[in-house]
Chain A
Amino acid sequence: MKLVVANLAKEFNRRAIFSDVSFSLELRDSLAITGMNGAGKSTLVKILAGLLSETRGSIEYSVDGKAVPVDMLRDQIGLVSPYLMLYDEFTAKENLSLLSRIRSNSFQIEDRSRELLQQFGLWEKRDEFVRTYSSGMKQRLKFVFALLHQPVLLFVDEPTSNLDEEGVSLVRDVIEQQKKDRILVVATNIHEEAGWCSKRIHLKKI
């Protein structure tokens, strides 16, 4: 799996958010996107995950040298983002099983979700409604959701927002471990988190 981004630009209402972003990532590469608030970190992550269309430039995913449209990679992408919400009216377990079923890979999620829920300290709370969760627990659950289907591409926007100290170190461990066999993109403005990654781009506010 390879990701090549060339001269990417995004505008909202004819106002440039960022422009001329280029980089390329291969398996086991990790990229930190840094920049001030409003520099377009989240927007860039959304575009990479195929949730938003770019204004100019190109994003090309390829597997074994063959280009694959991002729409076909739905079960290869995991995303943690403050804009990504889980369903309040369902429990953690229901959220995971319903969303995996929609993704149509519910086959072996039972063991995997147990393992992840335990790892993120949510196993005891698995049958409680997400609406009763604290924001830190929601953030942990987002990681479980993002890692559930073992995606090749892992995008993490503000990895440690709302997390306590224990949660931060948990996330650090998880990311250290995950970046070994994935393509990892982390958007953050915390210096230490940017250090987790081998590559870095800085978005300047335009």
Chain B
Amino acid sequence: MFGKTSIKVVQYGSVLIISFVLIAGLAIPLSASPQSWLEFPIIPGLEDKARNLFFHVPMSWTAVVAFFVSAIYGIKYLRSKNIDFDNISVSSAGLGLLFSVLATITGALWARFNWGAFWNWDPRQTSIFILLLIYGAYFALRSAIDSEEKRARLSAVYTILSGLTVPFLVFIMPRMMAGLHPGALGDESGKGPLFETNMIASNMRVLFYLSLLGFTMFFVWLLNLRVRAGKLELQQLQSGK
């Protein structure tokens, strides 16, 4: 899918960036009135739990990116009937499943300490839950079809159909249920996602975006690995019979 050198850059880059975020995100101390770049401000109600921002949010982000990559390659498959596109689509869906599980777990742990329960049916919790359901349904469908072409075609159609409902969820969720998420409409501290308010210092912001970049690169690297493994499997199937 990518050139050899660029994949090396992605590989080492993602490891480097995530390691840096891990260390910096956990080690930088909090301070009531931050003076230097090496101090985070204390966000009322979040305190040390704010550090989850650097991990949980990029994981959810990656899960969503993976879904769209899967849908785009599904469409590409339908247009070209090139089975390699299906391979990319299913690999991306597999990673999406992994990342949405990770995001759900980190989110639930965080919710336990911040909101008092692992699960609250907050709009965003519900959204990631639906994403998990979609991934689950996608793989259930794939395992129920023997023919390779049919499997590729029908699962591509399913990702497209489920993609169509995403705007509705984005629109409906916040209206239907009270939000608990930092930055949700009901939150006393304000409107809009947390990192768009001035409660977050610029050093947190830099680290957050760095983490987004790192996780996205990590996703690209894993995707590349899985696609190559998938190709080998297909070749083996072909030559084995």
* A–B contact via C-beta, under 8 angstroms: yes
Instruction: Give residues in A with beta carbon < 8 Å to B.
Output: 12-15, 53, 55
Residue pair B147, A14 in contact (C-beta under 8 Å): no
Majority SS at the chain B contact face: helix
Q: Are A12 and B241 in contact (CB under 8 A)?
A: no
The answer to whether B237 has its CB under 8 Å from any CB of chain A is yes
Task: Evaluate contact between A15 and B147: CB separation under 8 angstroms.
Answer: no
10 tightest CB-CB pairs across the interface, nearest first?
A13-B148, A14-B238, A13-B147, A12-B147, A14-B148, A15-B241, A14-B237, A14-B234, A12-B149, A13-B149
**Cα–Cα, bound, A12→B237 (Å):** 13
B41 vs chain A, min Cβ distance (A): 58
Interface string of B203-241 (1 = CB under 8 A from A): 000000000000000000000000000000010011001
Q: In the complex, which residues of chain B have a beta carbon less than 8 angstroms from the beta carbon of A14? A: 83, 148, 234, 237-238
**Chain B residues closer than 8 Å to A12, beta-carbon distance:** 147-149
- Residue among B147, B149, B237, B238 with the highest chain A CB neighbour number at 10 A: B149
A15 to B147, CA, bound (A): 11
Closest residue on chain A to residue B146 by CB atoms: A13
Instruction: List 11 additional contacts besides A12-B147, A13-B149, A55-B81; criterion CB under 8 Å.
Output: A12-B148, A12-B149, A13-B147, A13-B148, A14-B83, A14-B148, A14-B234, A14-B237, A14-B238, A15-B241, A53-B81
Residues of A contacting B234 in the complex (Cβ-Cβ under 8 angstroms): 14
Q: Which residues of A contact B238 (CB under 8 A)?
A: 14
Chain B CB count within 10 A is highest, among A14, A15, A53, A55, for A14
Q: Which residues of B contact A55 (CB under 8 A)?
A: 81
Instruction: Kindly provide the distance from the CB of B174 to the nearest chain A CB, expressed in whole angstroms.
Output: 44
- As a 0/1 sequence over residues 39 to 62 of chain B, the CB contacts with chain A under 8 angstroms (1 = contact) are 000000000000000000000000
Roughly how many angstroms separate A13 CA and B150 CA in the complex, as a whole number?
9
B241 nearest in chain A by CB position: A15
